[in-house]
């Protein structure tokens, strides 16, 4: 993804560092952009942060499939918010639960408490709490959330479902 303020990279790094002492974890950051050096510097100071740089779609898919949780900390930037957040759906399609900020359309891309959790935007403590909330679940509950995430995307957010909904809308206009 784009390593930018709009994607909440500073908030994500701060949340990860804040959380690490009570919940050891690896934060794997994939992408490139204007905050690349900030991520590299964070990696140098915090060995749990791993920067992988940019990768192709297959590499992103493999990373999402291997992750326990995907975190998307998008936020308002220069008066704009992300409309939806396709990567949130991509992660869930891979069976990976998500934590997203309540920003723009991001919260609509998951089923709160069933496929992931939402945090207050631009709030590293809230983001850390929601990450910790996921990891406080037992392993079976985490795996179930991943299965729910996949089902949610297939049943409610797939391209075929969206086309059916749009066709229904158009048909209602006749």
pLDDT at 160: 82
pLDDT at 84: 80
pLDDT at 174: 81
Mean pLDDT of the chain, nearest integer? 94
Tokens standing for 147?
């299965």
Q: Which residue has the higher pLDDT, 165 or 57?
A: 57
* C-alpha–C-alpha distance, residues 70 and 7, integer Å: 13
Mean pLDDT value of segment 116-128? 97
* Residue 32, Cβ density class (10 Å: 0-12 exposed, 13-18 middle, ≥19 buried): middle
pLDDT at 42 over 90: yes
| Among 109, 89, 111, 97, CA closest to 141 | 97
Mean pLDDT check: name the lowest of 21-30, 148-157, 159-168: 159-168
The torsion region of residue 44 among left (phi > 0), alpha (psi -120 to 50) and beta comes to: alpha
Q: Does the domain made of 9-172 have the CATH classification 1.10.10.60?
A: no
Element (H, E) at 61: helix 57-66
Say how many C-beta atoms besides its own lie within 10 A of residue 10's C-beta.
18
pLDDT at 1 over 80: no
pLDDT at 82: 85
Mean pLDDT check: name the lowest of 17-26, 80-89, 121-130: 80-89
Mean pLDDT value of segment 19-43? 97
Question: 122 with 76: CB under 8 angstroms?
Answer: yes
Mean pLDDT value of segment 78-105? 92
pLDDT at 56 over 90: yes
Question: 98 with 149: CB under 8 angstroms?
Answer: yes
pLDDT at 43 over 90: yes
* C-alpha–C-alpha distance, residues 14 and 28, integer Å: 14
pLDDT at 123: 97
pLDDT at 83: 81
């Amino acid at each position: 993804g784009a390593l930018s303020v709009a994607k909440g990279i500073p908030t994500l790094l701060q949340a990860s560092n804040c959380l690490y002492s009570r919940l050891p974890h690896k934060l794997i950051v994939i992408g490139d952009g204007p905050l690349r050096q900030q991520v590299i510097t964070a990696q140098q100071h915090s060995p749990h942060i791993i920067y992988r740089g940019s990768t192709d779609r297959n590499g992103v898919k493999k990373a999402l499939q291997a992750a326990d949780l995907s975190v998307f900390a998008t936020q308002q930037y220069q008066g704009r918010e992300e409309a939806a957040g396709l990567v949130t759906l991509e992660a869930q399609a891979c069976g990976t639960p998500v934590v997203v900020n309540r920003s723009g359309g991001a919260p609509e891309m998951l089923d709160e408490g069933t496929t992931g959790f939402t945090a207050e935007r631009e709030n590293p403590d809230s983001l850390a709490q929601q990450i910790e909330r996921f990891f406080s679940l037992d392993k079976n509950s985490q795996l179930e959330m991943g299965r729910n995430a996949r089902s949610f995307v297939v049943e409610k957010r797939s391209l075929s479902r969206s086309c059916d909904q749009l066709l229904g809308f158009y048909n209602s206009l006749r």
